[in-house]
Structure 1
Amino acid sequence: MPFNPTRRHLLTAAGGLGLSFVLPKLAATAQRPATDATFLFSCDVHACLVSADGLSPDCAAEGKTDAALLRHVAAVNAVGGLVWPAVIDGKPSGLASAGAPIAAPLGLVLGGDMTDDGGGQVKVPGEGWQLQQFTSRYQQGTGPDRVHYPVYNGLGNHDLDQDGVAPHIDWYRRELRDYVELNHRSTVFYKAPVPVTNYDLDSDNYSWDWGGLHLIQLQRFGGDDTKGAISGLPWLQQDLAAYAADGRPVVLFQHYGWDHFSTEHWDPAAKTFDPTGAGPAHWWSDEERAALLAALKGYNVAGIFHGHEHPTPMIYNREGYDIFKPIAAFLGGLALVRVTDTFMDVALAKAGENPADLLFTHAFSKRL
């Protein structure tokens, strides 16, 4: 477990064996790469095509259309070159970067539900229309209809929960997991389009670094073992020990959060899932959340980003961790993030009515 010395630790350790313990930690901190990383986070794309021109039921009414995704892509691509907002909704944003030009984002990280129905279900195994639609918008490319930055993929319950038609029960889960692996895991013989440093074959969790910032993608949630998934918590513990023991800031991404929707339970009296239910958890359990937090204990976790709940932008704190959730991508949502050696800025935004318009709605800043 990493040790983060306070001023009192340094003073009391000034003599004897204490100094020999503190100095290596300070040396490791001094050797850390400098950090100034600007990136984007979004979630809940919900690509919805099931044929060349048809959507899954209810998708059009919910706004899960290709036109909505094109509007989101335009806003994402317009970020670089804008200015960090100094005022949001008539009030000072409080951002350390306020008034400064926004650097070209290093990437777009996604927090799950890339597709609406397991990539787009068909009776015979084959590439689903929804995965094709997602790729045509959210795989890095040129032109107005593709994201212009490297995309770091993440899976959610809509990508992984649905069973295929027998006997191909797990085909769609494997299709989505293969897509993530092929985009991010390089081998001796294969160069991934968006290579990462550490990829776990069992859980499809992965991590990478931008300067002195360590970033971790946990897919549906850290420790997921549903629908045949293998928990990535042992990998997460090893990854943090290997790459973040020097106290560098860590940012995590997953689909489920700590909000009321993500943590609801079955309510026998109301016969529905709600935040006050005493029955089984709907999405992930109290025990699963506790296990993830135990794996993070002692590390410098600067923020956790998630999706799952669609219409409500959120900036909140649970168990001492700052947590962020923009509105769904198909509703135009994104988070703009900057992490430096001294501060972290997060601005939540949504696409405007006109192409490339971006409206900032919420802001958060803290010293690191």
Structure 2
Amino acid sequence: MPLLAQTPRPATDATFLFSCDVHACLVSADSLSPNCADEGKTDAALLRHVAAVNAVGGLVWPAEIDGKPSGLASAGTRIATPLGLVLGGDMTDDGGGQVKVPGEGRQLQQFASRYQQGTGPDRVHYPVYNGLGNHDLDQDGAPPHLDWYRRELRDYVELNHRSTVFYKAPVPVTNYDIDSDNYSWDWGGLHLVQLQRFGGDDTKGAISGLPWLQQDLSTYAADGRPVVLFQHYGWDQFSTEHWDPAAKTFDPHGAGPAHWWSDEERAGLIATLKNHNVVGIFHGHEHPTPMIYNREGYDIFKPIATFLGGFALVRITDTVMDVALAHAGQSPGDVVFTHAFSKRL
């Protein structure tokens, strides 16, 4: 019998943005959660970030950073209009903005007013791919509505990304897992996966998405195409700290329980990725330190927090991956590049 014709893999040339730790903080029309103002989690800071990410398309990939060659394959070329802004968790500071009786939180309203695609200077101009973190999911509501805030945030993600026969999502994706709220989509020959707090999360009543992830990669990335993952927790010292009984705190040297996610949970995720072409993992959680590092053979990237102005600019083609970490400058629309990474694929 004749061999079935194989569908060729689409060409890849995808430029996109990644940000993490928005921490929308409004709890009323003009007041913030405690300590937010001191930490810089203000609406003015988010507007500064929005102006910077909106200005990226049409700029030039940096040939130099701090007076040294950037090493980027795209250096000196025009930056394409980003296909989207992907978020790596902590969209809000307090579970969407807690209220005593179930209702839409002000923090989620503030987040949507800045990070749902729109026009004008106060909204992101690209499709936004939402991701949840510990600040979105860890807090319990007032009894008897303990899970209201988690449900509110998960509903927001689902309604933005999961289309049905009867409903067209604003930013539809290819594969959405109702149990874990993990989802995936493709830009040309690039496969992208949002894992929310972390791949395999089963805390606070969450259902692990690892079986879904294994099936997703087998279905959509078995041909060896490049895969990019997004989640909140990383492999940095803060994300991997444990309880230290002697110091009576969580730190990188503790031998007690894990603070955020465990060694076993990380191993479970890594095992699920085996035999697939994961070219990069993007995460958040730690706020002030830009990071480009390698763990378990994977290149990992973390810009500084959104409320500090941070984001990553990424371009992936059939032959190369470029990542530039950046933050918003002092003037509206200014972009300052701080770190760069490039590799052949």
Q: Which band: TM-score by shorter chain?
A: over 0.9
Deviation at 1:232, TM superposition (A): 0.1
Larger radius of gyration: 1
Alignment partner of 1:133 is 2:110: yes
Q: Of the candidates 59, 63, 66, which is equivalent to residue 40 of structure 2?
A: 63
Moved over 3 A (4+): none
Flag structure 1 segments of 5+ consecutive residues without an equivalent.
1-22
Deviation at 1:163, TM superposition (A): 0.2
CA distance in 1, matches of 2:66, 2:297: 27
- The match for 1:105 is 82
- The match for 2:284 is 307
**Identical-pair percentage:** 89
Deviation at 1:63, TM superposition (A): 0.1
The aligned runs of 1:17-28 (5 Å cut-off) are none
- The match for 1:349 is 326
CA distance in 2, matches of 1:213, 1:345: 14
Deviation at 1:357, TM superposition (A): 0.2
Q: Of the candidates 316, 327, 330, which is equivalent to residue 339 of structure 1?
A: 316
Deviation at 1:214, TM superposition (A): 0.0
Q: Of the candidates 235, 238, 254, which is equivalent to residue 212 of structure 2?
A: 235
Q: Of the candidates 222, 234, 247, which is equivalent to residue 245 of structure 1?
A: 222
> SS where residue 292 of structure 1 aligns?
helix
Q: Of the candidates 33, 38, 41, which is equivalent to residue 18 of structure 2?
A: 41
- The match for 1:214 is 191
CA distance in 2, matches of 1:32, 1:86: 31
Q: Of the candidates 200, 225, 230, which is equivalent to residue 223 of structure 1?
A: 200
> SS where residue 185 of structure 2 aligns?
strand
CA displacement 1:137-166 (0-9 Å, x = unmatched): 000000000000000000000000000000
CA displacement 1:80-126 (0-9 Å, x = unmatched): 00000000011000000000000000000000000000000000000
Flag structure 2 segments of 5+ consecutive residues without an equivalent.
none
Structure 2: which amino acid aligns with 1:298? N
CA distance in 1, matches of 2:90, 2:180: 16
Structure 2: which amino acid aligns with 1:235? W
- The match for 1:205 is 182
CA RMSD of superposed structures (Å): 1.0
> SS where residue 215 of structure 1 aligns?
strand
Size of the alignment, in residue pairs? 343
CA displacement 1:51-91 (0-9 Å, x = unmatched): 11000000000000000000000001000000000000110
CA distance in 1, matches of 2:49, 2:313: 14
CA distance in 2, matches of 1:263, 1:305: 15
Deviation at 1:167, TM superposition (A): 0.4
Deviation at 1:308, TM superposition (A): 0.1
CA distance in 2, matches of 1:79, 1:165: 42
Alignment partner of 1:261 is 2:256: no
CA distance in 2, matches of 1:76, 1:84: 14
CA distance in 1, matches of 2:22, 2:282: 15
TM normalised by structure 2 equals 0.98
CA distance in 2, matches of 1:300, 1:121: 40
CA distance in 1, matches of 2:145, 2:52: 38
Deviation at 1:277, TM superposition (A): 0.2
CA distance in 1, matches of 2:88, 2:179: 19
> SS where residue 227 of structure 1 aligns?
helix
CA distance in 2, matches of 1:294, 1:244: 16
- The match for 1:320 is 297
CA displacement 1:154-201 (0-9 Å, x = unmatched): 000000000000000000000000000000000000000000000000
CA distance in 2, matches of 1:274, 1:31: 48
Q: Of the candidates 241, 249, 253, which is equivalent to residue 272 of structure 1?
A: 249
CA displacement 1:249-272 (0-9 Å, x = unmatched): 000000000000000000000000
Alignment partner of 1:286 is 2:263: yes
CA distance in 2, matches of 1:236, 1:247: 15
Deviation at 1:231, TM superposition (A): 0.1
- The match for 1:162 is 139
More helix by share: 1
TM normalised by structure 1 equals 0.92
- The match for 2:29 is 52
CA distance in 2, matches of 1:247, 1:146: 36
> SS where residue 201 of structure 1 aligns?
coil
CA distance in 1, matches of 2:74, 2:216: 30
Structure 2: which amino acid aligns with 1:168? H
CA distance in 1, matches of 2:158, 2:274: 28
The aligned runs of 1:87-98 (5 Å cut-off) are 87-98=64-75
